[in-house]
Amino acid sequence: MPKDYQILKDRSKLQLENIKNLMRQTYWAPDRSEATIIKVIDHSVCYGVFDQDHQQIGFARVITDFATTYYICDVIIDAAHRGKGLGRLLLEFITTDSDFRGLYGLLVTADAHGFYQHHGFEPAPEIFMHSPRH
């Protein structure tokens, strides 16, 4: 971990405005409403990456039943802080969390296959299905 950063799994430390700004940087949720962000935080295990000034510059969340499966969502590092290995460290922090040990991990990505494969995830197009939003 670069010494000027820390990863926390403490919902009370999350900074909603910073998370909204992070979402705006994504291709999958640039218009996600504040109400939706609050709802996903309330119903997920959340992780924040913080800089030396205690500003949140990264976010990820996990949806899980804590018994069989976990689903990693919204892995984001602020553009100004990319290239420092923070995304790798955040994903490592999540995948080594004892809450998910022995569980089946899932995620969806359109463009970061190599990144996730480095952490043990494998493409599975022949078994994956989805339901469009209703």
CA-wise closest residue to 59 among 27, 106, 17 = 17
* Rg of the Cα atoms in the chain: 15
Provide the 8-state DSSP code for 62.
E
Instruction: Please give the pLDDT value at position 7.
Output: 98
The domain made up of 6-118 is a member of CATH 3.40.50.1360: no
Instruction: Please tell me which residue, 130 or 29, carries the higher pLDDT value.
Output: 29
Burial of 20 (0-12, 13-18, 19+ CB in 10 A): middle
Name the least confident of 3-17, 25-39, 71-85, 106-120.
106-120
Burial of 72 (0-12, 13-18, 19+ CB in 10 A): buried
pLDDT digits (tens, 9 = 90+) for 38-48: 999 999 999 99
pLDDT digits (tens, 9 = 90+) for 97-132: 999 999 999 888 778 777 788 877 888 877 777 787
Cβ density class 93-117: b for 16+ within 10 Å, e for less: bbbebeebeebebbeeeeeeeeebe
pTM assigned to the model = 0.90
Residue spans per domain, the chain: 6-118
Instruction: Please give the pLDDT value at position 115.
Output: 77
Polymer length of the chain: 134
